[in-house]
Amino acid sequence: MSKAHTIARLESLLARIHSRAEGPRVVAAARVVAAPAAPGPVPVMHAPPPREAPAVTEAEIVVDVEVQVATPETVLAVVVEEEPAPPAALESREQLVAAEPAPVAESAPVESEVEEEVRAPISSRRPIPPQPEEQLAAMAFGAEEPQPARHTPPPESGRLLAAPAADFDAEVTEVREAQKVASPVPLVPHATAAVLAPSDVVADVVGAPRPAVPATFVAVLDASLAL
């Protein structure tokens, strides 16, 4: 390996170090905070430096080590000082439980409630709110005539009156037997005889018989002349 070639490789390596030193520093600090810490106060200056995997896997490890030690340590120290130190008694699992819910997790249930309000059951008494298009139309052109409720109320539910137990036995589902009637008593005629006594006065004539109509006009005229 020539000297010029070595210098060129060093320069390219230096450029890579500079480029990598810009982005992943914050992520490395977060990882330091979330990592389980040892009990007791942790001196800031003695915090272990983050290890960059690509830097470790490089073939020219001797040259890399010399450069990495000099550059990122000061930046990592500043980031660690801004994070509050976790309690020494808490484990990493407890930290996850005690952590406050993220704002994103709070917004999700609200959306589900809205969907539930829109999708009311068929038997609900509440009318379905207008669709978004209808709302936009109402905002643009004004409210139209009030529309009647889309759903009629469901029938009244409740318990029905059952038939009296003496009249109907609900458990019997077969052909029912009629009540047995006692055999009738044989019919015997009861005769009643009238008592009729002989009598002389039976007929009663009322009034006089109607006179015969005169057959001729002269007879009629004579009757009228006799008045």
Site residues (CB under 8 A) for other proteins?
214-218, 220-227
Residue 5 or 210: the one with the smaller Cβ distance to other proteins is: 210
Shortest Å distance, C-beta 204 to other proteins: 24
Shortest Å distance, C-beta 207 to other proteins: 14
Shortest Å distance, C-beta 221 to other proteins: 6
Are 36 and 92 spatial neighbours (Cβ–Cβ below 8 Å)? yes
131 φψ region: left (φ > 0), alpha (ψ -120 to 50), beta (else): beta
Which residues have C-beta within 8 Å of that of residue 40, sequence separation ≥ 6? 88
Shortest Å distance, C-beta 205 to other proteins: 21
Q: What is the torsional sign of CA 97, 98, 104, 109?
A: positive
Shortest Å distance, C-beta 219 to other proteins: 8
Distance CA(113)–CA(120), nearest Å, equals: 11
Residue 23 or 211: the one with the smaller Cβ distance to other proteins is: 211
Report how far apart, in Å, the C-alpha atoms of 6 and of each of 17, 37, 161, 191 are.
Answer: 16, 42, 103, 153
Residue 35 or 219: the one with the smaller Cβ distance to other proteins is: 219
Phi, psi of 66 (to 5 degrees): -65, -40
Residue 51 or 210: the one with the smaller Cβ distance to other proteins is: 210
Distance CA(16)–CA(10), nearest Å, equals: 10
Q: Which of 70, 73, 17 is nearest to 44 (CA)?
A: 73
